[in-house]
Amino acid sequence: MAKQQDTKKLFENLSGAGKSIGVLTSGGDAQGMNAAVRAVVRMGIYVGAKVYFIHEGYQGMVDGGDNIEEASWESVSSMLQVGGTVIGSARCKEFRSHEGRLKAAHQLILRGITNLCVIGGDGSLTGANLFREEWSGLLEELVQQGLIDEEAAQNNSELHIVGMVGSIDNDFCGTDMTIGTDSALHRIIEVVDAIMTTAQSHQRTFVLEVMGRHCGYLALVSALACGADWVLIPEMPPEDGWEEHMCQKLSENRADKKRLNIIIVAEGAIDCHNKPITTNHIKELVVSCLGFDTRVTILGHVQRGGTPSAFDRILASRMGVEAVLALLEASDSTPACVVSLCGNQAVRLPLMECVQMTQDVQKSMDEKNFEEAVRLRGRSFENNLNTYKLLSYHKADSELPNSSFKVAVLNVGAPAAGMNAAVRSAVRVGIKEGHKMFAVNDGIEGFYKGQIKEIKWGDVAGWTGQGGSILGTKRTLPAKHLDKIAEQIRIHNINALLVIGGFEAFECLLQLYEARTSHEDFCIPMCVLPATISNNVPGTDLSIGADTSLNAIVETCDRIKQSASGTKRRVFIIETMGGYCGYLASVGGLAAGADTVYIYEEPFGIRDLQSNVEHLTEKMKTGIQRGLVLRNENSNENFTTDFIYQLYSEEGKGVFDCRKNVLGHMQQGGAPSPFDRNFGTKIAAKAIQWISRKLKESYKDGKVFANTEDTACLLGMRRRTMAFQPVVQLKDETDFAHRIPKEQWWLKLHPLMKILAKYKTSYDVSDSGQLEPVTRVRPKKAD
């Protein structure tokens, strides 16, 4: 452990004293930009640097004056939940000229700003890089013109640049998600869910146009998330004759008792001859070929608007803090970098390599090399596309492979939004692989009672957008019912098992695996998919359902903060769910801008409570006269929510008053977020493909026999990859008494919440700081 302490790189050793950082937003706005600005400002001030807002993007930098304004800690308060960009963004022709950049350099030097944090798209970031390359030349010119002296030129001889990508299209290569994309998906899915109810009433076909002139990410992911019948994107133009195929599929779906059709079109959709495909063309086609009542909806700027999702706030806050660290560590030899997300990890990548790759995508598309374009878009895009193809077209039963294997799917534990999307995906991919799929109702209880029936392609139509668990789920574990379960496996001749659920699902698979020694019926491939709002399953960074729950918490906190700001001097104590796992409280606190979070993983005592009250008392003397405190339900058995509420009420007398709120089961309900629909869909498809492989490997002499560790696995997201891990190996990583993993990645985010709430704390930055090359080679598929 001591050795680990030595290698830990703590950011207390990084100082911003004497440095000035300018932050600007440029190009099209995106939800979450404000969260990034807030994080840059607060982290910058925290490390002792001066931070300046540059209003109206590059135009403000060129014009100077009031457009460049020093930021204070309070000046970014209440920004977190606001969409768009508070500091303004503008397209600036002047900055594209040499004279414009000369003016901008002069304005920065007047204020000693030599560190720039640029939040925008690839055009904005390219402009910033050019500015950096010209910097020394611009300084020389300014000296020659007598606008600055030699000393000023020497003191400001290096310009450091860090970029963050704010773009709802997710069109920047090198990052899995850009700031704003998740929020735009929220807007699209809200609209699609609303349209579905009216379309069903009238048996209509709806053609929806979503943004994405050059990138089909929004169209592709929203099609996955709502189970659209057809999607058209620039990276995958349909082949000649697509019109006939599409109409055939629409009419087959109607014949299959489906009352509506949804077609999603990216605004930049083209056919294989690079001709645009418009929504009106599709409408005319459907009406003339099929006579269906068809309507067009163009979503337009709705997608850019509204409040940022929890994911975008967390992403932008992480990126903002990382950007300041990158600026503090930059030297004249480090290239301009962009902070980005790979899997679940923040990374730094060379800015121009990413820009070059982004431009190469367009070049490949112009040259009709669409496979290359998809590959350059990155693994996240490619995975989405492959999953969509897997789920998109239902062949007639006679055309499907026939494996004669029977695979059962069940939910175990508490309901979580996104479970149904996972079941739908598993059923459809299983049928495509040639298996007979069986659904088990009411978890393990239904299993041993024999509530098992075959489930067909059409049975799971429309499941992606449904919250809760349609199959029904219970917390019952198999240990006491092993004989009956084994009997049901024999009766129905089940060859493999997919369990979708939370900590109980993990325990369930562990018990079934350990019962293999006494029951040969359990010697079949088994896989568990983590689905719980608590995100407390070992072997995975994220669980299906946690994102939906975070959004519910953040939405409620936003409303509560708004009510508190009206009444002034009010502190809210909010209790979240999660059992002993502090994920919802901690990450929800980061996304909602909480002042304090109490979690089980970080023990606290009466002195901590006292210092938190003092911290809030100090805050009430500033212009921000409200407080938000989150407490995980099991954070401490003695310091209950009531106790903390009473303590704060007593200690805050005359300074602030208190209110408390227990969020309860509203955190478990609601329609699944786009992230949870997509995550559930993708991991279920991957799990079924793994089950198919294991079935083939373990089929000998007319029967399936699988008794090795690697045939009872949990599929989880670990940092950058999806990994199948034997459940028996995860036993050592688990604290069974408290039902949490012994190590949890998100605890590294916990100090961020404290820093952004003005607490002095230690922050381990060992993970960051390495500039990585952009990978163009396709990584080997992880099994």
Hey, which residues does 712 pair with through a beta bridge?
Answer: 526
CA distance 19 to 117: 13
Residue showing tokens 């019952």: 476
Q: Write the CA distances from 283 to 241, 544, 715, integer angstroms.
A: 16, 36, 41
508-513: list long-range contacts, CB under 8 Å, 24+ apart.
508/412, 508/444, 508/477, 508/478, 509/712, 509/714, 509/727, 510/727, 510/728, 510/731, 511/477, 511/478, 511/479, 511/482, 512/478, 512/485, 512/712, 513/709, 513/712, 513/727, 513/728
Q: Which two tokens stand for residue 203?
A: 């048996």
The two tokens of residue 106 are 């002069």
User: What angle (nearest 5°) sits at the alpha carbon of residue 670, between those of residues 749 and 455?
Assistant: 110
User: Measured between alpha carbons, how far is 37 from 30 in angstroms, rounded to an integer?
Assistant: 12
Question: What DSSP string runs through 674-743?
Answer: HHHHHHHHHHHHHHHHHHHHHHHHHEETTEE---SGGGEEEEEEETTEEEEEEHHHHGGGEETTTTEESS
Q: What CA–CA distance (Å, rounded) separates 747 from 112?
A: 36
Q: What are phi and psi of 262, to 5 degrees?
A: -120, 125
* Residue 396 CA, distance from chain mean position: 36
Task: Name the H helices within 469-595.
Answer: 482-491, 503-514, 546-567, 583-592
CA distance 116 to 129: 10
Q: For residue 535, what are its two tokens? A: 């995100």
HSE, CB side, 13 Å, CA atoms: give it for residue 404.
Answer: 4
Q: Exposure pattern of 221-232 as b/e (b: 16+ CB <10 Å)?
A: bbbbbbbbbbbb
What's the token pair of residue 161? Answer: 């640049």
Q: Which regions of 321-435 does DSSP assign to beta strands (E)?
A: 337-342, 345-350, 406-412
CA 476 to CA 508: how far, in whole Å? 9
Give the other-Cβ count within 10 Å of 148's Cβ: 19
Catalogue the active-site residues: 169
Residue 539 to residue 567: CA distance in whole angstroms: 45
The DSSP-derived string for 252-289 is HHHHTT---EEEEEETT-B-TTS-B--HHHHHHHHHHH
The span from the CA of 229 to the CA of 260, in Å, is 9
